[in-house]
Amino acid sequence: MPRTSTRLTFTVLATGAGVFSMLQSLIAPALPTVQHALHTSQSTATWVMTAYLLSASVFTPILGRVGDLAGKKRTLVAVLVTVLAGCLLAAMAPSIGVLIVARVVQGVGGALFPLSFGIIRDEFAAAEVAGSISNLSAVIAAGGGVGMVAAGPIVSALDYRWLFWIPVGIVAATVVIALRYVPESPKRAQGRISWSGAALLSAWLVALLLPLSQAGHWGWGSPKVLALFTAAAVLFALWLTSEARSRSPLIDLRVMRQPAVWTTNTAALLFGAGMYAIWSFLPGFVQTPSAAGYGFGAGVTASGLLMLPMLVAMFVSGVLAGRLEPRVGAKALLATGAALGALACGFLTLWHDAQWQIAVVAGLFGLGIGLAFASMANLVVGSVPPEQTGAATGMNANLRTIGGSIGAALTSVLVTGRLQPSGLPYASGYTHGWALLTLLCLAAAGAALLVPARRPAPALDAVPAEPTRTPAPAPVR
């Protein structure tokens, strides 16, 4: 691949991953509009989010592994085409059922994250890998912020269907450019897809995430929720056994047990719990009428603008992480990012009576997200063999999602467990929720401190070094 093409390759990868990240949060503020337009209930409308979450959690690690085996470019283009089809179907959906199916199709795009990280590792010069992964992570993080900020103006000026028509044009152009300019990596993993491992992984993820996302409607003590949690535990044990015995596992458990990998994944799980809960509940807090004793009665657009400092901070800190990582190390950046998240949530627990306080919290948390996203990706990529990059980074992204579901579910219990006669939560519910998120982010920072120190970024093996057969010293450059 010509050296000059790496920027264009990065642009393609960043566009695809950024659009998927934006789709993750873009529809959330518009759910009441969707509910009204498609004449459905609130509980049914929430499946627009749940279906996307479940689909992404299943396909992210599986298609990451497919890319390792079958070719990352080929898989990337197929995933982009699938996302394009899902956006088209959603834009034209005549009913809530069709929209939910479209969101399942869009969820396949979760694989864009591990595939993009793998392509960067395979194709970019070794000195560029850490910085490019940090920049891509910044785009992924900022994509979620763009969704929160842009949803209100798009729905107000156009229609909720344009939340999908706009991505149609962007993804279509990305497919064309990817076919022409993204190279197919010659590096392939050996083996085959473990379909039994894929089936068991899908089963336990669905059995875990479904009750976490729906327990608010079904009830935490309902037979469905308890049965699904039990099934998740059993299926998880079966999956571990199957992967340990497989000659070609979907997720190599030996890699997952490496100290740098499991500690980073633990931090991802805990930090994801805080991050997704903030994304889920802070806009609702801001939109609550002040008559409830808190909140500012902001509309969708105004609440999105209050999240703007988070969007800007996420992108800036993610880009800066790539420049800081060779100097201070990804471990320090991850610990700092989680600590900033804890500081933001702690500030929010004590001070949430003015809009400037919300803006400060959003900015602080955004700084933490940018640093944490970039450093997690670099730690995982730098700790696994090249042929395991897709599966390992896919599992890391999945654990953030699982953590997010757990954090959102626990926060929901605290926020909605006791309601005012008006049906709105009490202020104390939110305060207890913010305190919980503070503890989760502090735990993430603690997990980050357990990550073993490693060599600087050039040891990422993006380009295999020539074997040295003599003890002659390396030339000075």
pLDDT at position 50 is 81
Residue 473 pLDDT greater than 60, yes or no: no
Average pLDDT over residues 152-170: 89
pLDDT at position 445 is 96
- Between 102 and 151, name the one with better pLDDT: 102
Report the candidate in 271, 419, 415 with the shortest Cα–Cα distance to residue 333: 271
Report the candidate in 272, 275, 269, 268 with the shortest Cα–Cα distance to residue 362: 275
What's 220's DSSP letter? T
C-beta separation of 383 from 254 below 8 A? no
Write the CA distances from 331 to 17, 133, 324, 341, 457, integer angstroms: 24, 15, 11, 16, 12
What's the alpha-carbon Rg for the chain, to the nearest Å?
Answer: 22
Distance CA 418, CA 416 (A): 5
pLDDT at position 467 is 44
Confidence at 454, pLDDT banded by 50, 70, 90: low
Residue 474 pLDDT greater than 60, yes or no: no
pLDDT at position 460 is 35
Q: What is the pLDDT of residues 375-426, one digit of tens each?
A: 998 898 888 887 778 778 888 888 888 888 888 888 888 888 788 888 888 8
C-beta separation of 277 from 433 below 8 A? yes
Residue 114 pLDDT greater than 80, yes or no: yes
Average pLDDT over residues 359-379: 91
pLDDT at position 135 is 87
Backbone φ, ψ for residue 425 (5° rounding): -65, 155
Distance CA 389, CA 256 (A): 12
- Between 25 and 316, name the one with better pLDDT: 316
Neighbouring residues of 164: CB distance < 8 A, sequence distance ≥ 6: 87, 88, 90, 91, 102
pLDDT at position 29 is 78
C-beta separation of 102 from 93 below 8 A? yes
Residue 75 pLDDT greater than 50, yes or no: yes
Write the CA distances from 412 to 199, 214, 267, 277, 352, integer angstroms: 30, 11, 22, 9, 18
pLDDT at position 279 is 81
Residue 367 pLDDT greater than 70, yes or no: yes
Q: What is the largest CA-CA distance in the chain?
A: 80
CATH class held by domain 3-183+250-458: mainly alpha
Which range of 251-255, 301-305, 309-313 scores highest in mean pLDDT? It is: 309-313
Least confident of 5-9, 80-84, 173-177, 188-192: 188-192
Average pLDDT over residues 135-152: 83
Interhelix angle 308-328/355-381, nearest 10 degrees: 40
Tokens linked to 322: 């790539």
Q: What is the pLDDT of residues 11-67, one digit of tens each?
A: 889 999 888 888 887 887 788 888 888 988 877 887 888 888 888 888 888 888 888
Residue 297 pLDDT greater than 90, yes or no: no
Query: How remote is the C-alpha of 415 from its chain's centroid?
Result: 23
Distance CA 255, CA 386 (A): 12
Q: What is the pLDDT of residues 258-267, one digit of tens each?
A: 899 999 999 9
Q: How many residues does the chain have?
A: 477
pLDDT at position 169 is 92
- Between 374 and 333, name the one with better pLDDT: 333
Tokens linked to 130: 């850490």
Share above pLDDT 90 across residues of the chain, in percent, rounded to a whole number: 32
Q: What is the pLDDT of residues 215-232, one digit of tens each?
A: 877 888 899 999 999 999
pLDDT at position 122 is 85
Long-range residue pairs from 87-91, CB within 8 A, at least 24 positions apart, any chain: 87/23, 87/164, 87/165, 87/167, 87/168, 87/171, 88/164, 88/168, 90/161, 90/164, 91/161, 91/162, 91/164, 91/165, 91/168
Q: What is the pLDDT of residues 80-105, one digit of tens each?
A: 999 999 999 999 999 999 999 999 99
422, with CB counted inside 10 A (0-12, 13-18, 19+), is exposed
Count CB atoms within 10 A of the CB of residue 41.
Answer: 10
